[in-house]
Structure 1
Amino acid sequence: MSEVRQKAASAKQTAALMSSLTTAQKNEALLLMADALVTEQQSIIQANQLDLDRGRENGTSLSLLDRIKLTEDRIVSIAEGLRQITELPDPTGTELESFERPNGLRIRKIQVPLGVIGIIYEARPNVTVDAAGLCLKTGNAVVLRGGSAAISSNKRIIEVLHEALSRSALPADALQLIEDTDRSSVDEMLKLNGLLDVIIPRGGASLIRNVVENATVPVIETGAGICHTYIDESARTQMASDIVFNAKVQRPSVCNSIETLLVHEAFAKRHLAEIAGRLKEAGVEIRGCETTLKLLGYGTPVTEENFATEYNDYIINVRVVQKLDEALAHISKFGTMHSECIVTENEDHAARFLQLVDAAAVYHNASTRFTDGFEFGYGAEIGISTQKLHARGPMGLPALTSTKYLVIGNGQIRG
């Protein structure tokens, strides 16, 4: 039996027990996991260094290395995410509605775990912990398949978490890591109907497309982040500059950073040079439309392919538009329904943007970097869903549940 099938089967065997655990038991396990991560942070950092060294040898980009890198502060933050999950309400067992039919049947609709969740992701080892915490808190077993770029980090993290689970009421087999980083292991996961109840991909466009197009197991689609900020004519200059700078520079390697800046022509003539100059000083490469290049006097001509690219790097597209509708049309064409922002003091324009932009999160006068489970108060997230079925936006605990109807009768039969 392959590693993938064996570990999925082991996770499946724990599903009944997982669904019967109390909230207190699950929270205790998460706290043990959090403490263990902090206690073992040096051994985790040592394993992480192996990934970083291998990445540098292979010519991995600086932005990807940043996604892989773990520091003491990052590990403490990851552990804190687990602790915050314990403070959140446990959705499992929650009664969503109850009613009685004319024939006397009493029907209750409650939230229950999905079962066994397969998560396929790429470079960020923090996902290993976030996914484990959210799935276990909701009574789900989880099979993780991270990328080769962070395999040493992930293996050590799972060892640490398994040791913590051995001291709890939760079965350690409910948390599995596929160590085979060959593409065939992903292909096998996509067909594990009967062992996996759902698959959630997290990563770049090619990974997500492969999962969505080839899986026979149901998929919750998390999308690539081609995000935009549109600066309207009435925007306050300093606010616009701060929002754009934060959304591009604070951490460009993540999916909620922006790839394209759209600027109203009137604003661009007055202030684009200032905003672009600030980005340039931070090392951001400017790829601009013809008007942008004329206003700035520097930059690389932007292409249609650029507008359709998620850089996750210090690169930004800049396009000058004549009106709000032109910005809306651009976002509709190139956006990935992730996160979009308008900076404006015109309330009518803001309302129109918020209503018409089809995205999981739409912002008025705030950075797209807030599209994050931690920032939304979920403690952590399993991903940002860009689809419209079951869950959308940052997926916290409720998104990892399904429903069950409990029907209580006294002998009723259907005529």
Structure 2
Amino acid sequence: MNLLENIGKKAKEASYELANLNTEEKNKILLNIKNTLNKRRNEIIKANKIDIENGKKAGLSEGLLDRLLLNDDRVDGMLDSIDTVIGLDDPIGEVSDMKKMLNGLEIGKRRVAIGVIAIIYEARPNVTLDCSILCLKSSNSLILRGGKEAINSNMAIVKIIRDAIEELNYDKNIVQLIEDTTRESSNELMKLNKYVDMLIPRGSANLINHVVKNSTVPVLQTGNGNCHIFVDDTADIDMAIAIIENAKTQRIGVCNAMESLLVSEKVDKEFFGKLNDIIEKYNITVYGCEKSKQYLPNIKDATENEYAMEYLDYAFSMKIVKDIDEAISHIRKYSTKHSEAIITNDYNNSMKFLNLVDSSCVYVNASTRFTDGGEFGFGAEMGISTQKLHARGPVGLKELTSEKYVILGNGQIRK
């Protein structure tokens, strides 16, 4: 038995033990993870400094380095997320749609864990903790396969999690990390359907597409974020500018950042002056259409590639559109179905946008930066699902479960 198959077997066995734990026991483990992580936070920060230095030497972009960074504030955020998950209702065991048949059988659905979940992800060490606590609370064992950029941080976090689990005399293999970061290990994990019930890829478009095309394990597809904001001609200009600044610049290296801006040709021309102030303030590179160049200096030509790009940098594409219909058409062509927003004071346009834009999260008069498990009250997330089967949007506790039918009888036989 090779290394990954052994990890898969241990995860499957651990899932059986986890299925027997009640909510109180799972929350007790989560609390011990929180306390242990807090006591040993210096181990995480020290390991992360090694990853940051290696990342700088490797020439990682500012956005990727920001994704990689763990400091005291971010560790505090990780602790807060554990508290939130502890406080959430446990979906496991929930019974619904119970009905009594004419023959006396009682038939209903019971919510259950998926079993063994694996995730392949890149330079986001906080994902290591998020996935661990969500899987534990939803009674799933977890196999983590992170990228080489965050390997030292991931190893430190997982060691603390496993020590905290083992300290309470539970199976530490509820959470396991594949320390081999070569392509071979991820390819092998994709074929581990004997043990793994669901695989989640989280990272670049290349990673996600590779997993979707090559995995024999069922895949929950998350997506990269070419997120659009459309500024309607009725928009409050100051609101639009504040939302654009937040969505583009608060954190550039995240999947819910604005990457494409669409503007109605009828918008108040005051908008462009204020937009240019933001562009100059952050030294943003803009790729735009010919009409855009009439209002903003120093715009580079936008091609098909620029309109489809997830920049993860101080850059975005821009197009002046005739109306909401052209904006929706553009979004349909270039969107990755992650998050889109309209800024408008027209009720009919807001409803049209909500109804016709087919993305996992669609906003009216708010920043796309809210597409996040923590902001949605989930405590954490496994990723943002951009597919339609099983789960869509931020993947929290309930999305990590399935259902089975339970049938209660008193001796019925079929005639």
Q: Residue 93 of structure 1 aligns to which amino acid in structure 2?
A: G
State the Cα distance separating 1:405 from its structure 2 match. Answer: 1.3
Alignment partners' CA distance in 2, 1:71 and 1:301: 39
User: Does 2:283 align with 1:283?
Assistant: yes
> Could you say which residue in structure 1 is the equivalent of 2:69?
69
SS at match of 2:261: strand
Q: Residue 32 of structure 1 aligns to which amino acid in structure 2?
A: N
Alignment partners' CA distance in 2, 1:135 and 1:347: 40
State the Cα distance separating 1:379 from its structure 2 match. Answer: 0.7
Alignment partners' CA distance in 1, 2:233 and 2:154: 47
Alignment partners' CA distance in 1, 2:268 and 2:303: 20
Q: Residue 212 of structure 2 aligns to which amino acid in structure 1?
A: V
TM, length-normalised to structure 1 = 0.98
Deviations 1:276-317 (A, max 9, x none): 321331132111111112211212111110111111111111
Q: Residue 136 of structure 2 aligns to which amino acid in structure 1?
A: L
Alignment partners' CA distance in 2, 1:94 and 1:346: 41
Deviations 1:142-164 (A, max 9, x none): 00101110000000111111111
Structure 2 counterparts to residues 40-51 of structure 1, below 5 A: 40-51=40-51
Q: Residue 165 of structure 1 aligns to which amino acid in structure 2?
A: I
> Could you say which residue in structure 2 is the equivalent of 1:186?
186
Alignment partners' CA distance in 1, 2:4 and 2:386: 27
> Could you say which residue in structure 1 is the equivalent of 2:234?
234
Alignment partners' CA distance in 2, 1:268 and 1:185: 54
Q: Residue 130 of structure 1 aligns to which amino acid in structure 2?
A: D
Deviations 1:173-209 (A, max 9, x none): 1101010000011111111112000101111111111
Deviations 1:207-242 (A, max 9, x none): 111111111111111111110000000101110000
> Could you say which residue in structure 2 is the equivalent of 1:377?
377
Deviations 1:226-273 (A, max 9, x none): 100000001011100000000000011110001001011122633123
Alignment partners' CA distance in 1, 2:79 and 2:170: 18
What percentage of aligned pairs have identical amino acids? Answer: 45
Structure 2 counterparts to residues 117-156 of structure 1, below 5 A: 117-156=117-156
- Runs of 4 or more, structure 1, over 6 Å off, are none
| Preserved CA contact (<8 Å) 1:268 1:320 | no
State the Cα distance separating 1:169 from its structure 2 match. Answer: 5.2
| Preserved CA contact (<8 Å) 1:243 1:367 | yes
> Could you say which residue in structure 1 is the equivalent of 2:174?
174
User: Does 2:306 align with 1:301?
Assistant: no
Q: Residue 291 of structure 2 aligns to which amino acid in structure 1?
A: T
Q: Residue 139 of structure 2 aligns to which amino acid in structure 1?
A: G
> Could you say which residue in structure 2 is the equivalent of 1:201?
201
> Could you say which residue in structure 2 is the equivalent of 1:210?
210
User: Does 2:310 align with 1:310?
Assistant: yes
CA change 1:2–1:280 in 2 (3 A) is farther
> Could you say which residue in structure 2 is the equivalent of 1:6?
6
Unmatched tracts of structure 2, length 5 or more: none
Structure 2 counterparts to residues 345-384 of structure 1, below 5 A: 345-384=345-384
CA change 1:322–1:270 in 2 (3 A) is farther
SS at match of 1:117: strand
Alignment partners' CA distance in 2, 1:286 and 1:403: 47
Deviations 1:71-93 (A, max 9, x none): 00001101110111000000000
SS at match of 2:349: helix
> Could you say which residue in structure 1 is the equivalent of 2:221?
221
Unmatched tracts of structure 1, length 5 or more: none
Alignment partners' CA distance in 1, 2:276 and 2:198: 43
| Preserved CA contact (<8 Å) 1:106 1:409 | yes
With 224-233 and 302-311 compared, the bigger mean Cα shift is at 302-311
Matched positions, count: 415
Alignment partners' CA distance in 2, 1:194 and 1:93: 25
Alignment partners' CA distance in 1, 2:154 and 2:268: 45
State the Cα distance separating 1:378 from its structure 2 match. Answer: 0.7
Alignment partners' CA distance in 1, 2:39 and 2:368: 34
Q: Residue 340 of structure 1 aligns to which amino acid in structure 2?
A: E
| Preserved CA contact (<8 Å) 1:25 1:169 | no
State the Cα distance separating 1:58 from its structure 2 match. Answer: 1.1
